[in-house]
């Protein structure tokens, strides 16, 4: 019985860019290029789709890579600020209770 690893392979941005360009310029299918490169066809298909979006050729409302990165950064910042607000609220309540005693 074989076990499938739960870890994902990470590919550099340059590798992804080169793989997408190979699909676009070779006239071969995504599956053929993926097999040649040793990556999953689904992964390569996603890279091709995202590259099209980044070039402005995607569906309306699709986020570019830069927009996705900014969204992740902003969500992280909001989460940190929410935690800070929670700590400050608890500290305020603590000191308010001790001031009256």
Q: pLDDT (tens digit, 9 = 90+) per residue, 51-95?
A: 999 999 988 899 999 999 999 999 999 999 999 999 999 999 999
Q: Is the dihedral of CA 44, 45, 50, 54 positive or negative?
A: positive
**pLDDT confidence band for 4 (50 / 70 / 90):** low
Residues 28, 30, 36: CA angle, nearest 5 degrees: 80
Q: Which residues of 59-82 are buried (b: 16+ CB within 10 A; e: fewer)?
A: eeeeeeeeeeeeeeeeeeeeeeee
pTM: 0.67
Q: What is the mean pLDDT of the chain?
A: 91
């Amino acid at each position: 019985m074989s076990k499938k690893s739960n870890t994902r392979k990470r590919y550099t941005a340059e590798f992804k860019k080169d793989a997408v360009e190979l699909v676009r310029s070779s006239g071969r299918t995504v599956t053929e290029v993926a097999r040649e490169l040793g990556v999953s066809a689904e992964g390569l298909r996603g890279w091709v789709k995202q590259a099209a979006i980044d070039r402005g050729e995607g569906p309306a409302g699709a986020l570019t890579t830069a927009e996705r990165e900014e969204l992740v950064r902003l969500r992280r910042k909001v989460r940190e600020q929410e935690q800070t607000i929670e700590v400050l609220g608890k500290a305020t309540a603590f000191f308010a209770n001790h001031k009256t005693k």
